[in-house]
A and B are shown apart, each in its own frame.
Chain A
Amino acid sequence: MSISHAPPGSPESDISGIGKANAAPAGTTAADADAAGQGPLDLEPIVPSSARRTRVPRWLRRTTGPVLLLALWQLLSVTGVLTSDVLASPGRIAQVAGDLITDGSLPAAMGTSVQRVAAGLLFGAVAGTGLALLSGLFRIGEDLVDAPVQMLRTVPFVGLIPLFIIWFGIGEAPKVAIITLGVSFPLYLNVYAGIRGVDSQLIEAGESLGLSKWGLVRHVVLPGALPGAMTGLRYSLGIAWLALVFAEQINADAGIGFLMVQARDFLRTDVIVVCLIVYAFLGLLADFIVRSFERLLLQWRPTFTGR
């Protein structure tokens, strides 16, 4: 990263003539210009970015914040400012987490919850993308599908839990159904918008290259809709965990939510925090998976990675 220019000491500077002609070249102060028609400019070095960078590696910088927060929490717990029936100390939580893992109740609960999310996500993804393809690709599909979906979208899906319990009972079905419902809308909206947002110039170029209808969909429309679909998937994942929490707080006899409800009854804030951490961890893991997908599928897209 360097910009080539005339060496600073060069005797015949390119702009010296201009400096003489105009009293004050742009950038110099009036005082400078007054003192001498072309006194030495106040130069400042452009420091290469490699020299500016701190020595601390990035991962260390990134972990500092959470670690400090944890230390503060532990400090407050030890000094008694934070009593254990309000919030257990990090040490205590780590211990409880260890116990829950060794006695097998946490892995079992996680398994159940992950299964529910996976099933809901699968059904929701199939329904959401299927409907979006239908209304995105075909005008008749749009006329038939879009209006009802847009109407249903405005219903808060958690409000349907009572109805789902009446329809599906209190087993796994209503839980999976509520996740499915939550997942399908963001996917539908984003895939649909992605399809409709494909550059019409590219469609025309594809046509001029002699692509068939199906070829256009395969080579132009679907790849063009992929960024939107990925955004939809990430939204959906977020909502899937949210829906899981709602679904598991009601009539659950297994899963992380069930653990939490039990812990609430016994005022075990430590167990509740462990469950929350597990939720967060699972959410992060899911997000990581989608990010990896994105990196793989959208590598054609140059992105701004920050400074």
Chain B
Amino acid sequence: MATDVHGPVSPQAPGAPRAAQAVHVEGLTRSFDGRAVIDRLKLDVQPGEFVALLGRSGCGKSTLLRILAGLDRDIEGTVLVPRRKAVAFQAPRLMPWKKVWRNVLLGLPGKPERAVADQALEEVGLSHRSGAWPKTLSGGEAQRASLARALVREPDLLLLDEPFGALDALTRIKAQRLVGELWQRRGCAVLLVTHDVEEAVLLADRVLVMDEGVIAYETAVELERPRDVTDPRFAELRGRLLERLGVDNAADAA
């Protein structure tokens, strides 16, 4: 899946878009009241690459995601993202007044058939709730509906903002597995913002650690899929990342 069309988010006119990347960010600065939350950040994501972005809370990782989603445009620097991109937020953010399938189709150009939505819902295992009101869904179901809404746009870049944060432990494991499968099937680039190191190592090709407004550390995850949490190399990598995040390894808080 080639990311042919790039839509600039940057306020200034961009240079020639590079088709070799799904995301190209250079010299990105975002300030809140004079304090730079993101400070001359540089980031490239390859098409089809799964990148996890870790960081302490308040480090600006969600701000970066909102910028890439085009929701925050008070920025300086160059930001190039695919025109077809989709976001799944931490809260599912479904419109409560639209049935699930209408939520999935919301914002799609033209007048798409319900079958389009049902197909996307089928993919996340939620076709039986297609005609339900969002408020009657469980937390996991709502999050899957939100994923279907993102996927139906056939994005070249999928932005996930701690999508599993509000789920219970069992549902989270299932949802993580689902995202992994969907990514492998769709082949789109994914940027997953999370504070869960294990989740990052489990899913991503590359893990970035954000600190003080820049990508402070990055490492490729060379483990073969499906990954095993009990693998000593997994534990070693997780420990290394936790240390980077300022968590004492001995405490071993995941």
Q: Could you list which residues of chain A lie within 8 angstroms of chain B, going by C-beta atoms?
A: 201-202, 204-211, 215, 219-220, 223-224, 226, 299-302
Q: In the bound complex, what is the Cα–Cα distance between A302 and B137 (angstroms)?
A: 11
Contact B107 A206 (CB under 8 A): yes
In the complex, residue of chain B having the shortest beta-carbon distance to the beta carbon of A224: B97
Interface size range on B against A? 20 to 34
Inter-chain contact B107/A226, CB cutoff 8 Å: no
Q: How far is the CA of A202 from the CA of B134 in the complex (A)?
A: 13
Known: A207-B71, A208-B71. A215 touches B97 (CB 8 A): no
Shortest 5 CB-CB distances between A and B: which pairs? A209-B107, A205-B93, A223-B97, A208-B87, A210-B107
**Residue B37 interfacial (CB < 8 Å):** no
Complex alpha-carbon distance, A32 and B133, angstroms: 50
* Secondary structure type dominating chain B contacts: loop
Do the beta carbons of A219 and B135 come within 8 Å of each other?
no
Give the number of A-B contacts (CB < 8 Å). Answer: 56
Q: Whose C-beta in chain B lies nearest to the C-beta of A199? A: B93
In the bound complex, how far is the Cα of B136 from the Cα of A200, in angstroms?
A: 21
Mask, B83-98, CB within 8 Å of A = 1, is 0001101010101111
Name A202's contact: one of B93, B99, B107, B108 (CB within 8 Å). Answer: B93
B95 touches A220 (CB 8 A): yes
Given contacts A205-B87, A205-B93, 10 further A-B contacts (CB under 8 A): A201-B89, A205-B95, A206-B95, A207-B70, A210-B153, A215-B107, A226-B97, A299-B133, A300-B98, A300-B133
B69 in the interface, Cβ–Cβ < 8 Å? yes
Is there an interface contact between B96 and A301, defined as CB atoms closer than 8 Å? yes
Is the beta-carbon distance between A300 and B89 smaller than 8 angstroms? no
Q: Kindly state the separation between the CA atoms of A22 and B153 in the bound complex, as whole angstroms.
A: 59
Tell me the complex Cα distance, A226–B98, Å.
13
Known: A205-B93, A300-B97. A219 touches B70 (CB 8 A): no
Known pairs A208-B69, A208-B70, A211-B107; A202 contacts B95 (CB<8 A): yes
In the assembled complex, B106 has its CB within 8 A of some CB on chain A: yes
Cα distance, A202 to B94, chains bound together (Å): 7
Given contacts A201-B89, A205-B93, A206-B106, contact A302 B136 (CB under 8 A): yes
Q: List 20 A-B contacts (CB under 8 A).
A: A202-B95, A204-B93, A205-B87, A205-B95, A207-B70, A208-B70, A209-B106, A209-B107, A209-B149, A210-B107, A210-B153, A219-B106, A223-B95, A223-B97, A299-B133, A300-B97, A300-B133, A302-B133, A302-B135, A302-B136
Contact residues of B between 72 and 122, Cβ < 8 Å to A: 86-87, 89, 91, 93, 95-99, 106-109
- Which chain A residues lie closer than 8 Å to B134 at the CB level? 300
Give the nearest-CB partner of B69 in chain A: A208
Bound CA–CA A219/B97 (angstroms): 9
Instruction: Determine whether the beta carbon of A219 is less than 8 Å from that of B93.
Output: no
Instruction: Give every chain B residue within 8 A of A215 (Cβ-Cβ).
Output: 107
> When the two chains form their complex, are residues B87 and A300 in contact, meaning their CB atoms are under 8 A apart?
no
Contacts of A208 in B (CB 8 A): 69-71, 86-87
Chain B residues with CB under 8 Å of A209's CB are: 86, 106-107, 149, 153
Which of B71, B97, B106, B136 has the largest number of chain A CB atoms within 10 A? B97
Known contacts: A211-B106, A219-B106, A224-B97. The answer to whether A300 contacts B135 by CB under 8 A is yes
Whole-angstrom distance between the alpha carbons of A209 and B108 in the complex? 8
* C-alpha spacing A208/B108, complex, angstroms: 11
Smallest distance from the beta carbon of B54 to chain A beta carbons, Å? 22
**Residue numbers in B under 8 Å from A224 (CB-CB):** 97
What's the minimum C-beta distance from B171 to chain A, rounded to whole angstroms?
A: 21
- Knowing A208-B86, A223-B95 are in contact, say whether A301-B135 is a contact too (CB < 8 A): yes
Residue of B nearest to A226 (CB): B97
Contact B95 A219 (CB under 8 A): yes
User: In the complex the two chains form, what is the Cα distance from A301 to B136 in whole Å?
Assistant: 9
Which of A201, A219, A301, A302 contacts B98, CB < 8 Å? A219
Residues of B within 8 A of A301 (CB): 96, 135
Contact residues in B for A202 (Cβ distance below 8 Å): 93, 95
Distance in angstroms from B79 CB to nearest chain A CB is 15
B192 to A: closest C-beta gap in Å? 16
Residues of B within 8 A of A205 (CB): 87, 89, 93, 95
Most buried by B among A204, A206, A224, A302: A204
List residues of B (124-175) whose CB comes within 8 Å of A's CBs.
Answer: 133-136, 149, 153
Interface centre among A201, A205, A226, A301 (most CB of B within 10 A): A205
| Chain A residue contacts of B91, Cβ below 8 A | 201
Please give, as numbers and ranges, the residues of chain A lying within 8 Å of B69 by CB-CB distance.
208
Bound-state CA distance A209–B104 (Å) is 10
Contact of B93 among A201, A223, A302 (CB under 8 A): A201
Shortest distance between the CB of B81 and any CB in chain A (Å): 12
A208 to B150, CA, bound (A): 10
Expressed in whole angstroms, the minimum distance between the Cβ of B193 and any Cβ of chain A is 14
* A204 near B135: Cβ-Cβ < 8 Å: no
